[in-house]
Structure 1
């Protein structure tokens, strides 16, 4: 009796297992896919046989059943996942939208065996399942676009299935004309499948792909190419000759019933079983070239589930992706993403009705929405472009240009009109700046040597050219090496420009000391020392490559790439170097201020001060552009190319042409420049000691001091400098710099030849 009771309890436990995991499987279909229900039942039977303690409930949302569009289904799933709802566990999602779920779904590699995953790692499937090294989905099945040709009418008029779009126009025109002669006005020539929804984007991309130059080329032609222009013109020709606006706008709910009638001659639609039509690859520009858009329905697991439910969901997905189940999909005229499944020709049932040969012959094009940032926001504008072209007869080139600007990551292409013009203009200006050095070599323009010597001028001009070259690196596709090279050329260019001015201002400093003496005697060595810091910076930039390419996503404009530093360590290093440059620049301004009233260097002080003012304004503008986010590609490129160019041109004009203009004007008006040498009796000392006089006060004393650029040193300084034999040479150098002579007035003419004043 006891054994009977135990047996009954065991039987009851099979039917009332309280530990059984319920999995809610949300599915979507264009039609009433009863076979999905059968497969769900198959899994439940399989789970019972294997004692998996898992039960699946399938929920169907269908265009056929409740008129829910694919975009509406996507919005529903996205809403559920964002709310962390556990109402549904496994989802079917079109590859149009899989890119949106990388943060809302689980990595399937954690819940599905690697053997199953490996069976789906072909280029088409992998491209849409992986996002940022995360496997968010694998395809339950794939829909492909095909051409449906009416069997009755093709046989009636002894016509063949068209293989090019010109053949389709010719065949459709012929049959339509013949049927009209017989009073048949109801026959529809061609259904283009361009409703106002996301599938219009797939129809457009697919048509363009069919006009690529050769079958080996797997890239979609650029929107601005002649292939794309030809494809759009042919699409409009098809609509106008063998179709209509209404027939092109028909959606899923209208097309599926029509393909179960005999009222359509040709149609482009997803793979469905219909006995009334020949089914073949879509035509192309020429025979041998075709295109078929691939829209997979991927299986995904919600990220908000418990580990137990995620593992149970993984078991369901493994079952649905098995070879035996995938063969059932093929028998129901669905395309499978399973590797090499169509090469098993020994399976006569699987390859009946030429399913294998048809699917093997397809020239597939992947869903491109993954690569279009903010696709949801841009889709409406894309659909408007397509509608304007098809139904409002807008210009082909303008429409394609608008789509190109909307969906692609843009840059200045070298071979574009703007790119070529920019390169030529920049090259000519850089050549002019470089050749301006020749002026300095002529005696007639020797007044330039009053400012800097020939070597320092050469270094400065090279700096302007190198800074100007930054614009070249910002053209074309932005690469990491361009980011590195661009910033190095810009920063070193700025250094080469400012270091000669810094050397000159240090030499002019109104108080002699060891440092100023060293710079005067070894000015080129001093520049080399300064450049060593820049060289270290440049080497680090190329070694660590701190820049990353980031895409600035613009909802209603062109996306573009920028160079960006995101690593905090790299950002700190760059900030320290930038701080070093700021300190150098502040020193330049401070020295110019302190030397403002000094006799003998009036011209160069005013000239350098003008340079400082202009560059300060440019620096403020640069900081503003860094603080304010730029969401316009043209404004960004203008800043990146324009700012270095303005820096180089502004400083070039000030130092070369404005200075020349002033000197020529002074010569024409017979003006002379008087340089007063310091009188040995003049009190050139700076009163007070460093500890007693505040820094601000001492700077102001320097500013108002009118002593020569090589002034006398205080008695205290002279006394301390003469102590010890080791300071003898230093004292001699300092006295040489002082140049204390009898007061004399010298007039310098335009040719730079000093004459004693009578």
Structure 2
């Protein structure tokens, strides 16, 4: 603890001193590396040290008919606001006879071994529990997308005006969850913190310079003063001390710097691949290399607080608090006057959606409404504890007598989740790395932006050749093959080819070719966005293609059985019903697959291109898939057994030889398809190409061995096909006539 803290701690009440002693007796505070998710060190030192958990009154003698459990994390127990908020609600509940009490489980370095990252992981685990261990969750606002699946949809539970009183843009960025087919608000901000610009007025006044209004003006002012001070042998002066720490603070600084380069105050966050982003990063590099350094820009929080005290920097970006009076505070800058950007970091409050008891759910919603109410936010703002996201508060005359409302109104907040990803930790770490490699290294801006784009972009196959031409090549190739397959049906209706297609009725030949074409186009479902419906359709189309291709063969083998039997007779007389039975089985499997048998899994490729794949649900999905596979295996085994029995029959002698090649080749190809779908392939083009090739191979093998070879055979046969057909008909007639006699 520094001298400032020591002096201010003397002003504590006796009760607080006793509490501190008890805390120190119970557990020794462990030394922790400062994690910058919530930058509270400077807040703790300069701003919040006087918060008393009794300021909002204690919760003694509260009726405990319904008890809610809440959880939060802080590095600094004596400066956090969670306890005062909970105590305030418990007092309110007691006074208004709500019969609701909230218990707070507050994790700190003093009472646990977890840090902010461990807390985030723990929250993720706890939220999935049914029934939930906790009802109310205080969580870092960067994780609404990650936790949102397990949090209550507040839009359906709170009055519309309650949510609308908060800054809509900020709520949309930091409190929303976007699923496959849903959008919901899952939390509301308890507080937000933000950065501002500190200007060294001693030096600015010395050289008759004003506080800059743009980044270009800051650069020019700092460069001028540094050169003048060098003439006076002051070589230690720092032009700009930014906040590019290799932590979450660094990510926030990058986000707000790019945000400050949007076209207008009302413009959205700039697109990644845009001139706005390029200009922002190039200015950041220019500032870092010419009026600062990598060491300065990456220096830790303690170094910045020291810089504010020893006045060795002209400009410093830091979080709002009360430091050296020689530094004047101003809102962050932009590329044009009037445009700025400050990243809001803080905590949201959310409710578990797995609360099954109605009375507890209603109690949690009632508590949530009070904690996030305008009255509570006003109380916290007036005491100087927080910056609120309720804009209308800064229009109230009484409140503005105590705080600088004009300053707060000019802050242009942006949430970290403008770069929102489910795996935010992975994203933000690599995002910083790529930007730092450009700002402090030799990487080009184009390569940098491409690498960052690859972190967020989900690549997919399409006919657009911008990312890859494989989609267009595939579509042209399978279209050509399917056209040739369809054209080859002409031979079915030529009399001089009839003898080559006597194995199956014409309508079943057509079905067989349709089956091959269906299999040929299966990978078309991987074009553009992958969805659960497409995942289900892929396995269903494979099943249908299999049915159309091989069930006609099964039909022929059954009716050709050498021993007369009722099954053969029934099948021959009811061929469409026979086929329809298998189609019903396929359609039933399709319905089962839609019962959550698949999930869409995003493959995040390190330094590569992310893409989505279908992943089988380990519970329901495997059961359904195994059922489908077993049914097809039964058909294949039956075909193989019948082939074995009928192997030497003269009528189908060559047909069975070609058929066995088709069966074994298909079986091998399906095994390869299963293997590929479970092998880790980290290139989306390679993954698609291999899968597509296997499906094409399966289709072509079935077509060639069952139908195509007959066309080729007929075209190459030297004898007149019509004469051969008449001979075969006469031979069959004579054989049957002799047997009859």
Shared fold per TM-score greater than 0.5: yes
Query: Normalised by the shorter chain, which TM-score bucket?
Result: 0.5 to 0.7
Partner Cα separation in structure 2 for residue 292 and residue 234 of structure 1: 17
Is the CA contact 1:467–1:644 (under 8 Å) kept in the aligned structure 2?
Answer: yes
Alignment partner of 1:586 out of 637, 641, 663: 637
Instruction: State the shift of 1:128 in Å.
Output: 5.0
The answer to whether 1:190 aligns with 2:240 is: yes
Alignment partner of 2:392 out of 340, 343, 356: 340
Instruction: State the shift of 1:507 in Å.
Output: 4.4
Alignment partner of 1:503 out of 555, 560, 565: 555
1:74 maps to 116
1:473 maps to 525
1:259-658 to structure 2, matched below 5 A, reads 259-260=308-309, 262-274=311-323, 275-277=325-327, 279-284=329-334, 290-297=340-347, 323=375, 326=378, 329=381, 332=384, 334-338=386-390, 340-345=392-397, 347-352=399-404, 354-359=406-411, 362-367=412-417, 371-373=421-423, 375-376=424-425, 381-406=430-455, 411-412=460-461, 415=464, 417-442=466-491, 449=501, 452=504, 454-517=506-569, 519-520=571-572, 523=575, 526-528=578-580, 530-538=582-590, 540=591, 546-547=596-597, 549-552=599-602, 556=606, 560-564=611-615, 566=617, 572=623, 575-625=626-676, 628=678, 630=680, 632=682, 634=684, 637=688, 641-652=692-703, 654-655=705-706
Partner Cα separation in structure 1 for residue 217 and residue 510 of structure 2: 69
Instruction: State the shift of 1:604 in Å.
Output: 2.0
Partner Cα separation in structure 2 for residue 282 and residue 448 of structure 1: 82
- 1:152-179 alpha-carbon deviations (Å, 9 max, x no partner): 5666667666565455445544555555
Instruction: State the shift of 1:285 in Å.
Output: 5.5
Is the CA contact 1:483–1:547 (under 8 Å) kept in the aligned structure 2?
Answer: no
Partner Cα separation in structure 2 for residue 212 and residue 667 of structure 1: 77
Partner Cα separation in structure 2 for residue 267 and residue 153 of structure 1: 13
1:7 maps to none
Is the CA contact 1:202–1:367 (under 8 Å) kept in the aligned structure 2?
Answer: no
Partner Cα separation in structure 1 for residue 121 and residue 572 of structure 2: 73
Is the CA contact 1:345–1:351 (under 8 Å) kept in the aligned structure 2?
Answer: no
Instruction: Provide closer, same or farther for how the CA distance between residues 530 and 561 of structure 1 changes in structure 2, counting only shifts above 3 A.
Output: same
SS class of match (1:364): strand
1:103-118 to structure 2, matched below 5 A, reads none
Partner Cα separation in structure 1 for residue 371 and residue 201 of structure 2: 38
Is the CA contact 1:209–1:221 (under 8 Å) kept in the aligned structure 2?
Answer: no
1:138-177 to structure 2, matched below 5 A, reads 139-151=189-201, 165-173=215-223, 176-177=226-227
The answer to whether 1:59 aligns with 2:73 is: no
2:304 maps to 255
Is the CA contact 1:91–1:301 (under 8 Å) kept in the aligned structure 2?
Answer: yes
Instruction: State the shift of 1:436 in Å.
Output: 3.0
SS class of match (1:621): helix
1:38 maps to 50
Instruction: State the shift of 1:667 in Å.
Output: 5.0
Partner Cα separation in structure 2 for residue 286 and residue 646 of structure 1: 60
Partner Cα separation in structure 1 for residue 449 and residue 227 of structure 2: 33
Instruction: Provide closer, same or farther for how the CA distance between residues 665 and 129 of structure 1 changes in structure 2, counting only shifts above 3 A.
Output: same
SS class of match (1:36): coil
Instruction: Provide closer, same or farther for how the CA distance between residues 545 and 339 of structure 1 changes in structure 2, counting only shifts above 3 A.
Output: farther
Partner Cα separation in structure 2 for residue 333 and residue 158 of structure 1: 36
Instruction: State the shift of 1:294 in Å.
Output: 1.4
Instruction: Provide closer, same or farther for how the CA distance between residues 434 and 586 of structure 1 changes in structure 2, counting only shifts above 3 A.
Output: farther
Instruction: State the shift of 1:339 in Å.
Output: 6.2
- 1:600-641 alpha-carbon deviations (Å, 9 max, x no partner): 323321221111111111222234456x56474637655654
Instruction: State the shift of 1:441 in Å.
Output: 1.6
SS class of match (1:433): helix
2:736 maps to 740
Query: How many residue pairs end up in the alignment?
Result: 639
- 1:657-676 alpha-carbon deviations (Å, 9 max, x no partner): 666666666759x9x99999
2:358 maps to none
Instruction: State the shift of 1:358 in Å.
Output: 2.0
The answer to whether 1:29 aligns with 2:40 is: yes
1:733 maps to none
Partner Cα separation in structure 2 for residue 164 and residue 414 of structure 1: 44
Instruction: State the shift of 1:40 in Å.
Output: 1.6
Is the CA contact 2:464–2:471 (under 8 Å) kept in the aligned structure 1?
Answer: no
SS class of match (1:293): strand
SS class of match (1:247): helix
SS class of match (2:658): helix
Instruction: Provide closer, same or farther for how the CA distance between residues 34 and 265 of structure 1 changes in structure 2, counting only shifts above 3 A.
Output: closer
1:223-242 to structure 2, matched below 5 A, reads 228-242=277-291
1:703 maps to none
Instruction: Provide closer, same or farther for how the CA distance between residues 195 and 356 of structure 1 changes in structure 2, counting only shifts above 3 A.
Output: closer
Partner Cα separation in structure 2 for residue 473 and residue 82 of structure 1: 33
Partner Cα separation in structure 2 for residue 479 and residue 613 of structure 1: 32
Instruction: State the shift of 1:142 in Å.
Output: 1.3
Structure 2: runs of 5+ lacking an equivalent: 1-14, 16-21, 30-37, 65-73, 81-107, 127-134, 355-362
Instruction: Provide closer, same or farther for how the CA distance between residues 317 and 269 of structure 1 changes in structure 2, counting only shifts above 3 A.
Output: farther
1:66-105 to structure 2, matched below 5 A, reads 73-74=115-116, 94-95=140-141
Is the CA contact 2:598–2:621 (under 8 Å) kept in the aligned structure 1?
Answer: no
Which one has the largest radius of gyration?
Answer: 1
Is the CA contact 2:195–2:342 (under 8 Å) kept in the aligned structure 1?
Answer: yes
Instruction: State the shift of 1:194 in Å.
Output: 1.5
Is the CA contact 1:260–1:276 (under 8 Å) kept in the aligned structure 2?
Answer: no
Is the CA contact 2:146–2:422 (under 8 Å) kept in the aligned structure 1?
Answer: no
- 1:89-131 alpha-carbon deviations (Å, 9 max, x no partner): 999875457889999x99999xx99999969866545865688
Instruction: Provide closer, same or farther for how the CA distance between residues 460 and 97 of structure 1 changes in structure 2, counting only shifts above 3 A.
Output: closer
Is the CA contact 1:419–1:475 (under 8 Å) kept in the aligned structure 2?
Answer: no
**Normalization by structure 1: what TM-score?**
0.66
SS class of match (1:436): helix
Partner Cα separation in structure 1 for residue 79 and residue 403 of structure 2: 30
